[in-house]
Amino acid sequence: MNFEFSPEDEAFRAQVREFIQQNLPKDIARQAYRRGNAVSREGIRHWQKTLYKKGWGAPHLPLAYGGSDWSAVRKHIFTEEIYKADAPDAGWQGLHMAAPVIIAFGSEEQKQRHLPPMLSGDVYWCQGFSEPNAGSDLASLRTAAVLDGDTYVVNGQKIWTSEAQYSQWGFFLVRTDASADKPQKGISFLLIDMSTPGITVRPIEQIDGGDELNEVFLDNVRVPKENLVGDLNMGWSYAKYLLEKERTTSSFIYYNKRQLDVVKDIARRELDNGKPVIEMPEFSRKLSRLEMDLHALEWSVLRVLADEKSSFNLDAVVSTLKIRGSDMQQRVTELQMEALGLRSLRYFNLTQENDSDTGDHDLWPDYVPGRAAQYLFNRASTIYGGAQEVQKNIIAKLAFGL
Ligand SMILES: Cc1cc2nc3c(=O)[nH]c(=O)nc-3n(C[C@H](O)[C@H](O)[C@H](O)COP(=O)(O)OP(=O)(O)OC[C@H]3O[C@@H](n4cnc5c(N)ncnc54)[C@H](O)[C@@H]3O)c2cc1C
Protein backbone atom coordinates (compact mmCIF):
# COMPACT_ATOMS: atom_id res chain seq x y z
CA MET A 1 0.00 0.00 0.00
CA ASN A 2 1.26 3.46 -0.89
CA PHE A 3 0.70 6.16 1.73
CA GLU A 4 2.26 9.03 -0.19
CA PHE A 5 -0.18 11.84 -0.84
CA SER A 6 -0.58 12.46 -4.56
CA PRO A 7 0.48 15.85 -6.05
CA GLU A 8 -3.24 16.60 -6.51
CA ASP A 9 -3.90 15.91 -2.83
CA GLU A 10 -0.94 18.09 -1.85
CA ALA A 11 -2.36 20.88 -4.05
CA PHE A 12 -5.67 20.43 -2.26
CA ARG A 13 -3.88 20.72 1.08
CA ALA A 14 -2.29 23.98 -0.04
CA GLN A 15 -5.69 25.32 -1.07
CA VAL A 16 -7.25 24.44 2.30
CA ARG A 17 -4.31 25.93 4.18
CA GLU A 18 -4.49 29.14 2.22
CA PHE A 19 -8.21 29.48 2.83
CA ILE A 20 -7.74 28.98 6.55
CA GLN A 21 -4.87 31.47 6.67
CA GLN A 22 -6.94 34.09 4.92
CA ASN A 23 -10.22 33.55 6.73
CA LEU A 24 -9.65 32.27 10.25
CA PRO A 25 -9.59 35.33 12.50
CA LYS A 26 -6.33 35.48 14.42
CA ASP A 27 -8.11 36.08 17.72
CA ILE A 28 -10.14 32.86 17.36
CA ALA A 29 -7.04 30.81 16.59
CA ARG A 30 -5.18 32.42 19.47
CA GLN A 31 -8.06 31.72 21.81
CA ALA A 32 -8.11 28.06 20.75
CA TYR A 33 -4.37 27.77 21.27
CA ARG A 34 -4.39 29.55 24.61
CA ARG A 35 -7.52 28.06 26.06
CA GLY A 36 -7.75 24.54 24.70
CA ASN A 37 -11.38 23.45 24.70
CA ALA A 38 -12.82 26.76 25.82
CA VAL A 39 -13.28 28.67 22.57
CA SER A 40 -16.14 31.18 22.81
CA ARG A 41 -19.49 30.24 21.29
CA GLU A 42 -19.34 33.33 19.12
CA GLY A 43 -15.95 32.28 17.76
CA ILE A 44 -17.18 28.79 16.96
CA ARG A 45 -20.29 30.15 15.23
CA HIS A 46 -18.33 32.67 13.20
CA TRP A 47 -15.89 30.06 11.93
CA GLN A 48 -18.60 27.52 11.09
CA LYS A 49 -20.39 30.19 9.08
CA THR A 50 -17.20 31.03 7.21
CA LEU A 51 -16.71 27.37 6.28
CA TYR A 52 -20.36 27.05 5.32
CA LYS A 53 -20.20 30.01 2.94
CA LYS A 54 -17.22 28.40 1.26
CA GLY A 55 -19.22 25.14 0.92
CA TRP A 56 -16.99 23.40 3.46
CA GLY A 57 -19.41 23.35 6.38
CA ALA A 58 -19.54 19.58 6.67
CA PRO A 59 -17.34 17.82 4.09
CA HIS A 60 -17.94 14.45 5.75
CA LEU A 61 -21.62 14.56 4.69
CA PRO A 62 -22.88 13.59 1.22
CA LEU A 63 -22.74 16.32 -1.43
CA ALA A 64 -26.52 16.29 -1.87
CA TYR A 65 -26.91 17.49 1.73
CA GLY A 66 -24.36 20.27 1.67
CA GLY A 67 -21.36 17.99 2.21
CA SER A 68 -18.66 17.07 -0.30
CA ASP A 69 -17.64 14.35 -2.70
CA TRP A 70 -14.05 14.46 -1.49
CA SER A 71 -12.11 11.24 -1.11
CA ALA A 72 -11.44 9.89 2.39
CA VAL A 73 -7.85 11.13 2.05
CA ARG A 74 -9.01 14.69 1.27
CA LYS A 75 -11.35 14.70 4.24
CA HIS A 76 -8.40 13.58 6.34
CA ILE A 77 -6.22 16.38 4.94
CA PHE A 78 -8.95 18.96 5.52
CA THR A 79 -9.49 18.05 9.17
CA GLU A 80 -5.77 17.84 9.79
CA GLU A 81 -5.33 21.38 8.47
CA ILE A 82 -8.27 22.65 10.57
CA TYR A 83 -6.64 21.34 13.74
CA LYS A 84 -3.14 22.43 12.75
CA ALA A 85 -4.40 26.00 12.40
CA ASP A 86 -6.18 25.95 15.80
CA ALA A 87 -9.53 26.45 14.11
CA PRO A 88 -12.52 25.29 16.16
CA ASP A 89 -14.07 21.99 15.07
CA ALA A 90 -17.69 23.07 15.34
CA GLY A 91 -20.83 21.20 16.12
CA TRP A 92 -19.57 17.78 17.03
CA GLN A 93 -22.90 16.38 18.17
CA GLY A 94 -24.92 18.00 15.40
CA LEU A 95 -22.79 17.70 12.30
CA HIS A 96 -21.06 14.46 13.15
CA MET A 97 -23.75 12.60 15.04
CA ALA A 98 -27.27 13.89 14.38
CA ALA A 99 -26.82 14.81 10.69
CA PRO A 100 -25.79 11.35 9.39
CA VAL A 101 -28.76 9.76 11.17
CA ILE A 102 -31.22 12.36 9.90
CA ILE A 103 -29.86 11.90 6.36
CA ALA A 104 -30.09 8.11 6.50
CA PHE A 105 -33.35 7.64 8.39
CA GLY A 106 -35.08 11.02 8.79
CA SER A 107 -38.10 12.26 6.88
CA GLU A 108 -37.74 14.73 4.02
CA GLU A 109 -39.24 17.39 6.26
CA GLN A 110 -36.66 16.69 9.00
CA LYS A 111 -33.83 16.96 6.46
CA GLN A 112 -35.10 20.25 5.06
CA ARG A 113 -35.72 21.73 8.45
CA HIS A 114 -32.67 20.66 10.41
CA LEU A 115 -29.70 20.24 8.09
CA PRO A 116 -29.28 23.80 6.70
CA PRO A 117 -29.18 25.61 10.08
CA MET A 118 -26.90 22.91 11.45
CA LEU A 119 -24.43 23.37 8.62
CA SER A 120 -24.52 27.14 8.80
CA GLY A 121 -23.72 27.12 12.52
CA ASP A 122 -27.03 28.79 13.45
CA VAL A 123 -28.39 25.84 15.42
CA TYR A 124 -26.41 23.65 17.80
CA TRP A 125 -27.29 20.16 18.96
CA CYS A 126 -26.68 18.00 21.99
CA GLN A 127 -26.76 14.25 22.43
CA GLY A 128 -29.13 12.87 25.07
CA PHE A 129 -28.18 9.20 25.34
CA SER A 130 -26.55 8.52 28.75
CA GLU A 131 -28.52 8.34 31.97
CA PRO A 132 -27.46 7.97 35.59
CA ASN A 133 -27.86 4.18 35.34
CA ALA A 134 -27.28 3.75 31.64
CA GLY A 135 -23.81 4.56 30.35
CA SER A 136 -21.82 1.57 29.14
CA ASP A 137 -25.03 -0.39 29.49
CA LEU A 138 -26.95 2.14 27.42
CA ALA A 139 -29.75 -0.25 26.47
CA SER A 140 -31.03 -0.12 30.03
CA LEU A 141 -32.05 3.55 29.62
CA ARG A 142 -35.34 4.48 31.24
CA THR A 143 -36.35 7.91 29.94
CA ALA A 144 -39.78 7.11 28.52
CA ALA A 145 -41.85 8.59 25.69
CA VAL A 146 -45.56 7.79 25.67
CA LEU A 147 -47.76 8.73 22.72
CA ASP A 148 -50.67 11.00 23.64
CA GLY A 149 -52.62 12.08 20.55
CA ASP A 150 -50.12 13.76 18.23
CA THR A 151 -47.36 14.21 20.77
CA TYR A 152 -44.96 12.05 22.73
CA VAL A 153 -44.85 12.87 26.42
CA VAL A 154 -41.28 12.41 27.61
CA ASN A 155 -40.23 11.88 31.21
CA GLY A 156 -36.81 11.00 32.60
CA GLN A 157 -33.27 12.19 33.12
CA LYS A 158 -30.17 12.33 30.97
CA ILE A 159 -26.65 12.99 32.20
CA TRP A 160 -23.27 14.11 30.83
CA THR A 161 -25.11 15.94 28.06
CA SER A 162 -22.30 17.95 26.50
CA GLU A 163 -23.12 21.57 25.66
CA ALA A 164 -26.86 21.15 26.38
CA GLN A 165 -27.00 24.72 27.62
CA TYR A 166 -25.76 26.02 24.27
CA SER A 167 -27.91 23.74 22.12
CA GLN A 168 -31.23 24.66 20.59
CA TRP A 169 -31.98 21.04 19.69
CA GLY A 170 -31.11 17.60 21.02
CA PHE A 171 -31.36 14.04 19.74
CA PHE A 172 -32.51 11.65 22.41
CA LEU A 173 -32.83 7.93 22.90
CA VAL A 174 -36.09 7.18 24.70
CA ARG A 175 -37.92 4.04 25.72
CA THR A 176 -41.11 3.58 23.74
CA ASP A 177 -41.79 -0.08 24.50
CA ALA A 178 -41.07 -1.30 28.00
CA SER A 179 -42.39 -4.77 27.24
CA ALA A 180 -40.08 -5.61 24.29
CA ASP A 181 -38.37 -8.99 24.73
CA LYS A 182 -34.93 -7.34 24.47
CA PRO A 183 -34.26 -3.84 25.93
CA GLN A 184 -32.64 -2.75 22.64
CA LYS A 185 -35.90 -3.34 20.79
CA GLY A 186 -37.98 -0.82 22.76
CA ILE A 187 -35.92 2.32 22.10
CA SER A 188 -36.69 5.19 19.72
CA PHE A 189 -34.75 8.18 18.38
CA LEU A 190 -36.45 11.55 19.04
CA LEU A 191 -35.48 15.08 18.05
CA ILE A 192 -36.34 17.52 20.83
CA ASP A 193 -36.43 21.30 20.78
CA MET A 194 -34.47 22.23 23.92
CA SER A 195 -36.72 25.21 24.60
CA THR A 196 -39.78 22.96 25.10
CA PRO A 197 -41.45 23.50 28.51
CA GLY A 198 -40.48 20.79 31.01
CA ILE A 199 -36.78 20.65 30.10
CA THR A 200 -34.33 21.68 32.79
CA VAL A 201 -30.61 21.81 32.10
CA ARG A 202 -28.43 21.71 35.19
CA PRO A 203 -24.66 22.14 34.83
CA ILE A 204 -22.25 19.65 36.37
CA GLU A 205 -19.24 21.17 38.07
CA GLN A 206 -16.12 19.96 36.25
CA ILE A 207 -12.64 19.25 37.52
CA ASP A 208 -11.17 21.40 34.72
CA GLY A 209 -13.33 24.39 35.63
CA GLY A 210 -15.15 24.08 32.30
CA ASP A 211 -18.86 24.40 31.63
CA GLU A 212 -19.50 21.68 29.08
CA LEU A 213 -21.36 18.93 30.93
CA ASN A 214 -24.95 18.88 32.16
CA GLU A 215 -27.78 16.91 33.57
CA VAL A 216 -30.98 17.24 31.56
CA PHE A 217 -34.32 16.63 33.26
CA LEU A 218 -37.41 15.96 31.15
CA ASP A 219 -40.67 16.48 32.94
CA ASN A 220 -43.81 15.89 30.84
CA VAL A 221 -42.05 17.29 27.77
CA ARG A 222 -44.42 17.26 24.81
CA VAL A 223 -42.70 16.38 21.54
CA PRO A 224 -44.59 16.42 18.22
CA LYS A 225 -44.97 12.96 16.71
CA GLU A 226 -43.22 14.07 13.53
CA ASN A 227 -39.97 14.49 15.53
CA LEU A 228 -39.57 10.72 15.68
CA VAL A 229 -36.68 9.69 13.41
CA GLY A 230 -37.41 6.66 11.24
CA ASP A 231 -39.51 3.89 12.70
CA LEU A 232 -40.78 3.47 16.22
CA ASN A 233 -38.58 1.21 18.40
CA MET A 234 -35.72 1.28 15.89
CA GLY A 235 -33.65 3.86 17.77
CA TRP A 236 -31.01 1.38 18.86
CA SER A 237 -30.02 0.52 15.28
CA TYR A 238 -29.91 4.23 14.39
CA ALA A 239 -27.65 4.89 17.36
CA LYS A 240 -25.37 2.06 16.25
CA TYR A 241 -25.32 3.48 12.73
CA LEU A 242 -24.32 6.84 14.19
CA LEU A 243 -21.33 5.29 15.94
CA GLU A 244 -20.31 3.26 12.90
CA LYS A 245 -20.25 6.40 10.73
CA GLU A 246 -17.53 7.83 12.91
CA ARG A 247 -15.07 4.99 12.58
CA THR A 248 -11.83 6.87 12.91
CA THR A 249 -12.73 10.02 14.85
CA SER A 250 -12.45 8.23 18.18
CA SER A 251 -8.69 8.06 17.58
CA PHE A 252 -8.61 11.87 18.05
CA ILE A 253 -5.68 11.74 15.67
CA TYR A 254 -5.92 15.39 14.59
CA TYR A 255 -6.22 16.66 18.14
CA ASN A 256 -3.34 14.46 19.29
CA LYS A 257 -1.06 15.61 16.47
CA ARG A 258 -1.76 19.25 17.16
CA GLN A 259 -1.21 18.80 20.88
CA LEU A 260 2.11 17.08 20.19
CA ASP A 261 3.19 20.22 18.33
CA VAL A 262 2.19 22.23 21.39
CA VAL A 263 4.32 19.96 23.62
CA LYS A 264 7.28 20.78 21.38
CA ASP A 265 6.51 24.51 21.43
CA ILE A 266 6.44 24.51 25.19
CA ALA A 267 9.49 22.32 25.63
CA ARG A 268 11.57 24.48 23.30
CA ARG A 269 10.69 27.64 25.17
CA GLU A 270 10.58 26.50 28.80
CA LEU A 271 13.95 26.21 30.52
CA ASP A 272 15.20 23.80 33.15
CA ASN A 273 18.44 24.96 34.75
CA GLY A 274 18.96 27.29 31.81
CA LYS A 275 18.47 24.59 29.17
CA PRO A 276 15.36 24.07 27.03
CA VAL A 277 13.26 21.26 28.47
CA ILE A 278 13.28 19.54 25.07
CA GLU A 279 17.00 18.87 25.51
CA MET A 280 16.54 17.01 28.79
CA PRO A 281 17.24 13.33 27.98
CA GLU A 282 14.37 11.89 30.04
CA PHE A 283 11.89 14.35 28.55
CA SER A 284 13.03 13.88 24.97
CA ARG A 285 12.87 10.10 25.39
CA LYS A 286 9.21 10.36 26.39
CA LEU A 287 8.51 12.78 23.55
CA SER A 288 10.09 10.47 20.97
CA ARG A 289 8.12 7.51 22.27
CA LEU A 290 4.88 9.45 22.05
CA GLU A 291 5.66 10.69 18.57
CA MET A 292 6.36 7.16 17.34
CA ASP A 293 3.15 5.86 18.87
CA LEU A 294 1.24 8.69 17.26
CA HIS A 295 2.72 7.88 13.85
CA ALA A 296 1.61 4.29 14.28
CA LEU A 297 -1.89 5.43 15.22
CA GLU A 298 -2.07 7.73 12.21
CA TRP A 299 -1.07 4.90 9.89
CA SER A 300 -3.75 2.72 11.41
CA VAL A 301 -6.33 5.46 10.82
CA LEU A 302 -5.16 5.83 7.21
CA ARG A 303 -5.46 2.10 6.68
CA VAL A 304 -9.09 2.22 7.83
CA LEU A 305 -9.75 5.28 5.66
CA ALA A 306 -8.18 3.50 2.69
CA ASP A 307 -10.55 0.59 3.34
CA GLU A 308 -7.64 -1.79 3.54
CA LYS A 309 -8.86 -5.33 3.95
CA SER A 310 -7.94 -6.68 7.34
CA SER A 311 -8.35 -10.09 8.86
CA PHE A 312 -9.71 -8.38 11.98
CA ASN A 313 -13.31 -7.42 12.53
CA LEU A 314 -13.71 -3.70 11.75
CA ASP A 315 -15.59 -2.98 14.98
CA ALA A 316 -12.64 -4.41 16.90
CA VAL A 317 -10.26 -2.20 14.91
CA VAL A 318 -12.37 0.87 15.74
CA SER A 319 -12.27 -0.04 19.44
CA THR A 320 -8.50 -0.35 19.18
CA LEU A 321 -8.26 3.14 17.68
CA LYS A 322 -10.39 4.48 20.54
CA ILE A 323 -8.19 2.85 23.17
CA ARG A 324 -4.95 4.09 21.62
CA GLY A 325 -6.32 7.53 20.78
CA SER A 326 -7.74 8.24 24.22
CA ASP A 327 -4.63 6.92 25.91
CA MET A 328 -2.63 9.31 23.74
CA GLN A 329 -4.85 12.26 24.62
CA GLN A 330 -3.85 11.68 28.21
CA ARG A 331 -0.16 11.12 27.50
CA VAL A 332 0.20 14.18 25.28
CA THR A 333 -1.45 16.52 27.78
CA GLU A 334 0.55 14.96 30.64
CA LEU A 335 3.70 15.76 28.74
CA GLN A 336 2.57 19.37 28.30
CA MET A 337 2.19 19.60 32.07
CA GLU A 338 5.62 18.08 32.54
CA ALA A 339 7.19 20.58 30.14
CA LEU A 340 5.53 23.44 32.01
CA GLY A 341 6.71 22.25 35.41
CA LEU A 342 5.38 24.37 38.26
CA ARG A 343 3.71 26.80 35.85
CA SER A 344 1.18 24.09 35.07
CA LEU A 345 -0.27 24.52 38.56
CA ARG A 346 -1.58 28.05 37.97
CA TYR A 347 -5.41 28.20 37.83
CA PHE A 348 -7.08 30.11 34.97
CA ASN A 349 -10.79 30.79 34.79
CA LEU A 350 -11.64 29.51 31.31
CA THR A 351 -15.17 28.69 30.24
CA GLN A 352 -16.99 29.03 26.95
CA GLU A 353 -19.12 31.81 28.37
CA ASN A 354 -16.25 33.65 29.93
CA ASP A 355 -14.54 34.56 26.69
CA SER A 356 -12.72 37.61 27.87
CA ASP A 357 -9.43 36.78 29.52
CA THR A 358 -9.32 38.47 32.84
CA GLY A 359 -6.76 39.28 35.48
CA ASP A 360 -3.17 38.57 34.62
CA HIS A 361 -3.82 36.02 31.87
CA ASP A 362 -2.08 38.14 29.28
CA LEU A 363 1.11 38.18 31.31
CA TRP A 364 1.61 34.48 30.69
CA PRO A 365 2.96 32.95 27.48
CA ASP A 366 0.10 31.83 25.22
CA TYR A 367 0.85 28.18 25.78
CA VAL A 368 0.25 28.31 29.56
CA PRO A 369 -3.43 29.15 30.30
CA GLY A 370 -5.34 26.23 28.75
CA ARG A 371 -2.96 23.41 29.48
CA ALA A 372 -3.96 22.33 32.98
CA ALA A 373 -7.66 22.46 32.06
CA GLN A 374 -7.05 20.25 29.02
CA TYR A 375 -4.97 17.83 31.03
CA LEU A 376 -7.77 17.55 33.59
CA PHE A 377 -10.53 17.29 30.98
CA ASN A 378 -8.68 14.50 29.25
CA ARG A 379 -8.95 12.32 32.33
CA ALA A 380 -12.38 11.67 30.81
CA SER A 381 -11.12 10.64 27.37
CA THR A 382 -10.94 7.00 28.45
CA ILE A 383 -14.61 7.18 29.49
CA TYR A 384 -16.59 9.14 26.90
CA GLY A 385 -17.33 7.56 23.56
CA GLY A 386 -17.10 4.14 25.20
CA ALA A 387 -15.09 3.34 28.33
CA GLN A 388 -11.70 1.66 27.98
CA GLU A 389 -12.66 -1.61 29.66
CA VAL A 390 -15.76 -1.91 27.50
CA GLN A 391 -13.67 -1.40 24.34
CA LYS A 392 -11.32 -4.12 25.52
CA ASN A 393 -14.26 -6.47 25.98
CA ILE A 394 -15.32 -5.74 22.38
CA ILE A 395 -11.84 -6.52 21.08
CA ALA A 396 -11.64 -9.71 23.14
CA LYS A 397 -14.92 -10.89 21.72
CA LEU A 398 -14.73 -9.77 18.10
CA ALA A 399 -11.04 -10.08 17.33
CA PHE A 400 -10.09 -13.04 19.49
CA GLY A 401 -13.40 -14.85 19.95
CA LEU A 402 -13.03 -14.89 23.74
C1 LIG B 1 -16.63 14.39 29.09
C2 LIG B 1 -17.81 13.52 28.79
C3 LIG B 1 -18.73 13.91 27.84
C4 LIG B 1 -19.86 13.14 27.59
N5 LIG B 1 -20.80 13.59 26.70
C6 LIG B 1 -21.94 12.88 26.54
C7 LIG B 1 -22.99 13.40 25.72
O8 LIG B 1 -22.88 14.50 25.14
N9 LIG B 1 -24.12 12.69 25.61
C10 LIG B 1 -24.29 11.47 26.21
O11 LIG B 1 -25.32 10.86 26.04
N12 LIG B 1 -23.32 10.96 27.01
C13 LIG B 1 -22.16 11.64 27.19
N14 LIG B 1 -21.17 11.15 28.02
C15 LIG B 1 -21.41 9.91 28.75
C16 LIG B 1 -20.55 8.74 28.32
O17 LIG B 1 -21.02 8.18 27.13
C18 LIG B 1 -20.56 7.73 29.50
O19 LIG B 1 -19.89 8.33 30.57
C20 LIG B 1 -19.89 6.43 29.13
O21 LIG B 1 -20.65 5.70 28.22
C22 LIG B 1 -19.65 5.56 30.39
O23 LIG B 1 -20.83 5.40 31.11
P24 LIG B 1 -20.92 5.72 32.66
O25 LIG B 1 -20.36 7.06 32.92
O26 LIG B 1 -22.30 5.43 33.10
O27 LIG B 1 -19.93 4.69 33.36
P28 LIG B 1 -20.20 3.16 33.65
O29 LIG B 1 -20.80 2.51 32.45
O30 LIG B 1 -20.94 3.04 34.94
O31 LIG B 1 -18.74 2.62 33.84
C32 LIG B 1 -18.03 2.81 35.05
C33 LIG B 1 -16.77 1.97 34.96
O34 LIG B 1 -17.12 0.59 34.87
C35 LIG B 1 -16.50 -0.01 33.73
N36 LIG B 1 -17.42 -0.99 33.11
C37 LIG B 1 -18.71 -0.79 32.77
N38 LIG B 1 -19.21 -1.90 32.20
C39 LIG B 1 -18.21 -2.81 32.17
C40 LIG B 1 -18.09 -4.15 31.71
N41 LIG B 1 -19.11 -4.78 31.13
N42 LIG B 1 -16.89 -4.79 31.85
C43 LIG B 1 -15.83 -4.15 32.41
N44 LIG B 1 -15.87 -2.87 32.89
C45 LIG B 1 -17.04 -2.22 32.77
C46 LIG B 1 -16.26 1.14 32.78
O47 LIG B 1 -15.20 0.85 31.89
C48 LIG B 1 -15.90 2.27 33.73
O49 LIG B 1 -14.55 2.20 34.09
C50 LIG B 1 -20.03 11.91 28.28
C51 LIG B 1 -19.11 11.51 29.24
C52 LIG B 1 -18.01 12.31 29.51
C53 LIG B 1 -17.06 11.86 30.58
Question: pLDDT tens digits, residue range 329-363?
Answer: 999 999 999 999 998 888 777 765 554 555 566 67
Percent with pLDDT over 70 in the chain: 95
| 231 vs 145: CA distance, rounded Å | 14
What's the Rg (C-alpha) of the chain? 22
What pLDDT is stored for residue 355 in this prediction?
46
Cβ burial of 288 (10 Å; 0-12, 13-18, 19+) is exposed
C-alpha 385 to ligand 1 mean position (Å): 8
Kindly state the percentage of the chain with pLDDT values over 90.
76
pLDDT in tens, 156-178: 999 999 999 999 999 999 999 99
User: What pLDDT was estimated at residue 2?
Assistant: 57
pLDDT of residue 245: 72
Mean pLDDT along residues 103-131: 97
How deeply is 1 buried, as exposed, middle or buried, from its count of CB atoms within 10 A (0-12, 13-18, 19+)? exposed
Instruction: Give the start-to-end residue ranges of the domains of the chain.
Output: 7-90, 125-233, 247-398
Cβ < 6 Å from ligand 1: which residues? 127-130, 135-136, 160-162, 213, 380, 383-384, 387-390, 393
Atom of ligand 1 nearest to the CA of 162: 8
- CATH H-level, domain 125-233: superfamily: Butyryl-CoA Dehydrogenase, subunit A, domain 2 (2.40.110.10)
Burial (CB count within 10 angstroms: exposed 0-12, middle 13-18, buried 19+), residue 114: buried
Residue 277 has pLDDT above 60, yes or no: yes
pLDDT of residue 90: 77
**Model confidence band, residue 288 (pLDDT cutoffs 50, 70, 90):** very high
Q: Is 244 a catalytic residue?
A: no
- Spatial separation of the C-alpha atoms in residues 317 and 221, rounded to whole Å: 39
For residue 204, the model assigns a pLDDT of 97
- Mean pLDDT computed over every residue of the chain: 92
Residue 37 has pLDDT above 90, yes or no: no
Q: What is the mean pLDDT of residues 213-230?
A: 98
Residue nearest to atom 14 of ligand 1 (CA): 160
Q: Pick the residue whose CA is nearest to atom 44 on ligand 1.
A: 389
Q: What is the pLDDT of residue 247?
A: 67
Instruction: Label residue 370 by pLDDT band (50, 70, 90).
Output: confident
Residue 79 pLDDT exceeds 90? yes
Instruction: Determine which of 15-24, 95-104, 114-123, 300-309 has the lowest per-residue pLDDT on average.
Output: 300-309
Cα–Cα distance measured from residue 273 to residue 264, given in angstroms and rounded to the nearest whole number: 18
Same CATH topology for 125-233 and 247-398: the answer is: no
Q: What's the rounded mean pLDDT across residues 247-269?
A: 92
pLDDT of residue 352: 56
Among the listed ranges 4-18, 83-97, 353-367, which one has the minimum average pLDDT value? 353-367
Kindly give the distance from the C-alpha atom of residue 293 to the centroid of ligand 1, in angstroms, as a whole number.
25
Between the CA of 172 and the centroid of ligand 1 the distance, in Å, is: 16
Helix axes 281-305, 72-84, angle to 10 degrees: 150
Burial of 234 from C-beta contacts in 10 A (0-12 / 13-18 / 19+):
middle
Alpha-carbon distance of 299 to 294, in angstroms, equals: 9
Domain 247-398 in CATH: superfamily?
A: Butyryl-CoA Dehydrogenase, subunit A, domain 3 (1.20.140.10)
Catalytic, out of 81, 212, 215, 246: 246
- Ligand 1 centroid–CA 394 distance in Å is 15
CB-based contact 333:372 (threshold 8 Å): no
